[in-house]
Amino acid sequence: MTTQVALDSLDKDQMKTFQDFLMSYNKLSEICFMDCIRDFTTRKVHSDEERCSLNCMEKYLKMNQRISQRFQEFQMIANENAMAMAQKTGKM
Amino acid sequence: MAAQISPTDQAKLQMMQEMEIEMMSDLYNRMTNSCHKKCIPPKYGEADLGKGESVCIDRCVAKYLDIHERIGKKLTAMSMQDEDLMKKMAGEQK
């Protein structure tokens, strides 16, 4: 019953967010696995492999944050320029 | 103004907007991949971004968007030139 209610309240945006989250989870695993795991003589994960993977994840998230900040700044400048151009051409 | 737009045009407009959003998020993802590859060496001694890495990311984003814009401008110029040429060719054949 509770799942029914929860599913009903999930709208399109939330589904998209969830999908994005799953996608970035998979991508993160792939990147950090490729960068950190090199030894296949044992099936155990080394402590340095684990440390590397976890650091990789945290660093990747921090990088993402920074990129999104910078991207937003550029977007804002581009918007302002477009507005200024529109005003200029509108006056002419 | 809004009343003048027919429903089909409105649907087209919405589709264009959706395509643009999709394009932007694709651009963003590609940029993230590229800047990660170029700026973060695959040694993860610590979890924080180093100073050099941070600066590299800032420049990488700026440069990526700059190149994106330049290529876009050139691409439009080239396709416009192409179109003109095609029109001329079609005119000569008549």
Among A71, A75, A77, most B C-beta atoms within 10 A, so best to mutate, is A71
CA dist A15 → A11, A22, A54, B40 (Å): 6, 11, 27, 31
Instruction: Identify the pLDDT of residue A12.
Output: 84
Fold of B2-93: Helix Hairpins (1.10.287)
Instruction: Identify the pLDDT of residue B91.
Output: 86
Stretch A14-37: mean pLDDT: 92
pLDDT at A2 > cutoff 60: no
Please tell me whether the interface predicted TM-score (ipTM) of this complex is above 0.90: no
Distance CA B81, CA B77 (A): 6
Question: Which of B31, B42, B46 is the closest to A67 by Cβ?
Answer: B31
Report the 10 Å Cβ neighbour count for B38. 14
> DSSP assignment, residue B5?
S
> DSSP assignment, residue B44?
-
Instruction: Identify the pLDDT of residue A8.
Output: 67
Instruction: Identify the pLDDT of residue A92.
Output: 60
Stretch B15-30: mean pLDDT: 93
pLDDT at A4 > cutoff 70: no
> Residue B77 is encoded by which pair of tokens?
């110029």
Q: Check B40 against A70: CB less than 8 A apart.
A: no
In chain A, where the domains are located: 2-67
Instruction: From B61, B44, B64, B73, select the one nearest A49 (Cα to Cα).
Output: B44
Q: Check A63 against B47: CB less than 8 A apart.
A: no
With cut-offs at 50, 70 and 90, classify the pLDDT of residue B3.
Answer: low
The CATH number, out of the four listed (3.90.800.10, 3.40.1280.10, 3.40.350.10, 1.10.287.810), of the domain defined by the range A2-67: 1.10.287.810
With cut-offs at 50, 70 and 90, classify the pLDDT of residue A7.
Answer: low
pLDDT at B35 > cutoff 70: yes
